[in-house]
Amino acid sequence: MAFQGKKLINNPDDVVTEFIEGLVETYPGLQYLDGFPEVKVVIRADASGATYDKVAVISGGGSGHEPAHAGFVGEGMLTASICGDVFASPSVDSILAGIRAVTGPMGCLLIVMNYTGDRLNFGLAAEQARSEGYKIEMVIVGDDCALPPLLGIAGRRGLAGTIFVNKIAGAAAAAGLSLADVAAEAKRASQMVGTMGVALSVCTLPGQVTSDRLGPGKMELGLGIHGEPGAAVADLQPVDVVVSHVLKQILSSETNYVPITRGNRVVLMINGLGATPVMELMIAAGKTVPKLQLEFGLAVERVYTGSFMTSLDMAGFSISIMKADQTLLQRLDAPTKAPHWPVGSAGNRPPAKIPVPLPPSRSTKSEESLSRPLQLSEQGRILEAAIEAAVNAVIVMRDSLNDWDSKVGDGDCGSTMYSGATAILDDMKKYYPLNDAAETVNEIGSSVRRAMGGTSGVLYNIFSKAAYARLKANSDSTVTAKQWAEAFEAAIDAVSKYGGASAGYRTLLDALIPALSVLKEVI
């Protein structure tokens, strides 16, 4: 059953112009031509056709794919973006207005996605601009790998791989290359990239109803970014399976969509389609890279993950793979002020994972701290006796504590405390450094962390660690009663700080705080 889609918009007819207004307010380096609603063109604020001394690079198409292409306008990338209505090609007048606004004596390159409307309108605008004396070249991008290679007149559709072409052309233009050379680099890049996507939902156009074409438990392979049906509908599969299917399709030696073979260097784009959480995109990226490396024998030089060319609120993602060489990598790494081009890691990638850093442990401490001291000092004997008395009292009270806890909670307080007490007693016999009070308190915390679960285990561990930190600050080997009281107070303060309770909240603090008061009175 179809239903009205929810959108945070005003008039559906104004979504593109209002989007552009918000974009230029957000990024001061951008401007738009004052020709709404017919002319919707975003340009670089520092690029004027009368004085611009580099090749202008212009792309565009229907809106609804944001941030493409307006979000990629900026020094080092696009000079202007021509915005059509939602999923509609921009008009010839808009394209001409953009050309006239930013094209100087070096000429203009138009990068056009392979859709009939875009090809015709950009083509007519290019012919008109040439008749006005502008130098114009046009490169058409068809990176779709979902449909059969031979499609007669229409050919393969332009998808997210176009963003790579935009960046490479923009960097070449920023480097001062001629129009012919910029166009050659863009054309070469367009022939090196392949894209295929998977959708979990159908997008909703502003003011329209939401289609239920897919139905529950289904996904669409080889989607179209304008809401058109994909190449196939299949049962929803784990992302591992989806990624494997997409990669095999893009890199198929039978179809030869892209000239990528084992041993090549490649760059990868995981592109969200509008409603896909970052978590899911990162999962897809994390599964794609090792498959490209291990199964296809490719060196993955760059990974770009995010939403670059969307389809309104569609859930799903596309994968773009481009064959790379050093020149292409330099173009991708070249600086740009385009607000939505991602910062990619450039070369010499560190290992993806490193060992977890371990805290100083019993295995790294001195021999003296590995076991109970052979000879206890007077302080050590007193500390041992105090610990034994405390833990034995807890052990004896296990059943009573469980009984009391069952009246207000889940009845496991005694068992939890018993586990901690017996662990302390066992560990003390083996390796507590009893002659060192601070380290002994620290080891009590380690025993509690290992043996006790739930909130109480964490709180008692915090208690021990805070007391240890205060005792460790003392330089004297002998701990005085006053220093024990200070450590006790620091431990209580830590439990209150991290647990959020204080006196009167009916927590363990209601026993510890009075105990501290009595201790202070007798020392």
Q: What is the pLDDT of residues 482-514, one digit of tens each?
A: 999 999 999 999 999 999 999 999 888 999 999
- Whether the CB-CB separation of 447 and 460 falls below 8 Å is answered with no
The annotated binding site is made up of 62-65, 118
Integer Cα distance of 243 and 258 in angstroms: 17
Q: What is the pLDDT of residue 359?
A: 67
**What does the block give as tokens for 466?**
């805070």
Integer Cα distance of 321 and 171 in angstroms: 19
Half-sphere exposure (CA, 13 Å, Cβ side) for 226?
Answer: 17
* Domain residue ranges of the chain, discontinuous segments joined by +: 14-204+217-333, 378-479
Q: Which amino acid is at 25?
A: E
Q: What is the pLDDT of residue 365?
A: 53
- Whether the CB-CB separation of 289 and 303 falls below 8 Å is answered with yes
Q: What is the pLDDT of residue 443?
A: 93
Token pair 């399709």 is found at 249
Q: Which amino acid is at 152?
A: G
* pLDDT less than 50: residues of the chain: 1, 362-363, 367-368
Peptide bond into 206 cis (omega under 30): no
- Whether the CB-CB separation of 292 and 267 falls below 8 Å is answered with no
CA dist list (Å): 172 to 13, 103, 108, 343: 37, 16, 13, 18
- CA angle (309 as vertex; 308, 314 as ends), nearest 5: 115
Q: For residue 291, what is the DSSP state?
A: I
Peptide bond into 226 cis (omega under 30): no
Do 14-204+217-333 and 378-479 come out as alike in CATH topology?
Answer: no
Q: List the catalytic residue out of 69, 226, 245, 340.
A: 226
Q: Where are the alpha helices (DSSP H) in 222-347?
A: 239-250, 278-290, 326-333
Q: Can you give the pTM of this predicted structure?
A: 0.83
Q: How many CB atoms lie within 10 A of CB 410?
A: 9
- Whether the CB-CB separation of 413 and 456 falls below 8 Å is answered with yes
- CATH class, range 378-479: mainly alpha
CA dist list (Å): 247 to 197, 230, 251, 296: 10, 17, 6, 9
3-state secondary structure of 407: coil
Q: What is the pLDDT of residue 151?
A: 53
Integer Cα distance of 401 and 453 in angstroms: 16
Q: Is residue 245 flagged as an active site residue?
A: no
- CATH class, range 14-204+217-333: alpha beta
The annotated binding site for substrate is made up of 62-65, 118
Q: What is the pLDDT of residue 79?
A: 98
Integer Cα distance of 484 and 519 in angstroms: 9
Peptide bond into 339 cis (omega under 30): no
Q: Where are the alpha helices (DSSP H) in 27-58?
A: none
